[in-house]
C-alpha cells in the first residue's frame, strides 16, 4: 500500500487548528468553530472528509464548547466514516451492554462516573469515536490519549519486523458479568453483522495498517488483548507487558486533555489508546457515539509515520 500524500486539510485551515504535541492531538481553540455548522455547510462533505483525515493523522482532535445535538453527533459519526471509505456494512457501534434510553438510543454510550461503560472486543472494531462531555467535576477527570503510530515507530526495526504479521486474541467476555449484574441481555447486532452473538472475542493483527494514512500502528491494549497467538503464553505475557509499558511510560507520545463543559473530542480508535483519569468525586458525564470501521489488516507495504514525515527527533 502506498500511503496517501500528507494532506494539508485545506478546507479546515481557516479555522486555525493548533497541534497540541508533536505526535498526537490537534485543537480548534475558538468556540466559534462549531461542528454543527461544519455539518450543515455548503461544502460539508469536503469539511467532514478533511476532519476525518485530520483525526486519522493526528489521533485525536478537540473542539471547545459545542452546541451539537446527539442526533447531529450520530450524523457526524456516520459521515466521518462514510466519506473516508468505511465499508458499507459498518454502522454505528452498539455496546454489548446498553442500558438504552429512548432519547439517546442504543447507538449512544453514556460515559458516566455514576456507572459508565467502555469499548468491547469486536471482530470488526471501531474507527472514529466522538465524545461530548456535558457534566464535569470541579477538578480532575482529564482524559489521556497515546499514539499507536509512535508506539510502533519507537520499536527497534528488528522488533517491528518480528511483530508484523503476528496476531492477538482480544476478549470482551467480561461484559457478560456486567450484563448479569445489570440484568440486561447482551446487545445483538452491534453495528456490523459480524458483531453479533454472545462471544465477545476477536483475533486481530498486532501491527495494523491504517487504511487512510497508510501508516502502521501498534494494535494491542491492556483492557482486551489476552495473548499473542503465535507465541508461548509466557513469551506473550512478557512481550505484551513491554508493549503496554511502551504506551503508558512514554509521555511524549501522549496528549492530556482538560475538559471544558460541552467540549468534544473526536479520536481514531484504530491508532490511539485512551484512558480517563479517576481523580474526582463529583459527577462527570458525556455522550459518546462510535462508528464501526473495517476489519483490521496488516499490509506489508505500509509505512512508518515517522519515516514518512522524516521526523528527526
Ligand X SMILES: O=C(O)CCC(=O)C(=O)O
Residues lying near ligand X in the complex (CB under 6 A) are found at 111, 118-119, 129, 131, 143, 274, 276, 288
> Nearer to ligand X by C-beta: 38 or 129?
129
> Nearer to ligand X by C-beta: 7 or 223?
223
CB atoms closer than 10 angstroms to residue 75: 18
CB 105 within 8 A of CB 175: no
Grid cell in block for residue 49? 472528509
In three-state secondary structure terms, 179 is helix
In three-state secondary structure terms, 48 is helix
109-112 and 60-63 beta bridge pairing: unpaired
Tell the smallest beta-carbon distance from residue 287 to ligand X (Å): 10
Cα torsion 304, 222, 61, 71: sign: positive
> Nearer to ligand X by C-beta: 26 or 143?
143
Give strand pairing partners of 203.
Answer: 169
Tell the smallest beta-carbon distance from residue 158 to ligand X (Å): 33
Tell the smallest beta-carbon distance from residue 285 to ligand X (Å): 9
> Nearer to ligand X by C-beta: 4 or 118?
118
Q: Residue 251 and residue 146: Cα distance in Å, rounded?
A: 8
Q: Residue 67 and residue 164: Cα distance in Å, rounded?
A: 43
Tell the smallest beta-carbon distance from residue 303 to ligand X (Å): 28
Q: Residue 298 and residue 302: Cα distance in Å, rounded?
A: 8
> Nearer to ligand X by C-beta: 64 or 119?
119
CB 269 within 8 A of CB 294: no
Tell the smallest beta-carbon distance from residue 7 to ligand X (Å): 26
Tell the smallest beta-carbon distance from residue 114 to ligand X (Å): 12
Q: Give the list of residues 6+ apart from residue 237 with CB closer than 8 angstroms, or none.
A: none
Tell the smallest beta-carbon distance from residue 288 to ligand X (Å): 5
Q: Could you give the angle at which helices 70-82 and 44-58 cross, rounded to 10 degrees?
A: 80
Q: Residue 21 and residue 255: Cα distance in Å, rounded?
A: 7
> Nearer to ligand X by C-beta: 142 or 308?
142
> Nearer to ligand X by C-beta: 113 or 167?
113
Amino acid at each position: 500500500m502506498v500511503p496517501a500524500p500528507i494532506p494539508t486539510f485545506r478546507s479546515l485551515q481557516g479555522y486555525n487548528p493548533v497541534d497540541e504535541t508533536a505526535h498526537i492531538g490537534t485543537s480548534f481553540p475558538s468556540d466559534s468553530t462549531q461542528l454543527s455548522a461544519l455539518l450543515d455547510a455548503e461544502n460539508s462533505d469536503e469539511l467532514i472528509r478533511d476532519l476525518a483525515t485530520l483525526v486519522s493523522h493526528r489521533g485525536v482532535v478537540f473542539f471547545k464548547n459545542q452546541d451539537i445535538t446527539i442526533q447531529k453527533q450520530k450524523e457526524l459519526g456516520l459521515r466521518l466514516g462514510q466519506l473516508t471509505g468505511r465499508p458499507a456494512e459498518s454502522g454505528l457501534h452498539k455496546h454489548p451492554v446498553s442500558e438504552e434510553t429512548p432519547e439517546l438510543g442504543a447507538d449512544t454510550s453514556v460515559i458516566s462516573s455514576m456507572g459508565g461503560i467502555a469499548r468491547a472486543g469486536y471482530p470488526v472494531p471501531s474507527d472514529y469515536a466522538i465524545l461530548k462531555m456535558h457534566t464535569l467535576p470541579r477538578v480532575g477527570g482529564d482524559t489521556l490519549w497515546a499514539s499507536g503510530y509512535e508506539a510502533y515507530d519507537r520499536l527497534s526495526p528488528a522488533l517491528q519486523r518480528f511483530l508484523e504479521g503476528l496476531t492477538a486474541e482480544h476478549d470482551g467476555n467480561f461484559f457478560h458479568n456486567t450484563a448479569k449484574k445489570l440484568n440486561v441481555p447482551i446487545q445483538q447486532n452491534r453495528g456490523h453483522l459480524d458483531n453479533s452473538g454472545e462471544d465477545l472475542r476477536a483475533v486481530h493483527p498486532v501491527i495494523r495498517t491504517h487504511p487512510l494514512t497508510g501508516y502502521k500502528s501498534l494494535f494491542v491494549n491492556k483492557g482486551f488483548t489476552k495473548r499473542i497467538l503465535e507465541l508461548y503464553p509466557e513469551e506473550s505475557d512478557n512481550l505484551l507487558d513491554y508493549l503496554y509499558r511502551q504506551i503508558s511510560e512514554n509521555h511524549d507520545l501522549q496528549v492530556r486533555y482538560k475538559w471544558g463543559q460541552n467540549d468534544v473530542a473526536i479520536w481514531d480508535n484504530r491508532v490511539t489508546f485512551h484512558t480517563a483519569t479517576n481523580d474526582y468525586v463529583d459527577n462527570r458525564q458525556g455522550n459518546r457515539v462510535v462508528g464501526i470501521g473495517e476489519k483490521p489488516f496488516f499490509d506489508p507495504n505500509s509505512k512508518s509515520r515517522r519515516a514518512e514525515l522524516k521526523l528527526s527527533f
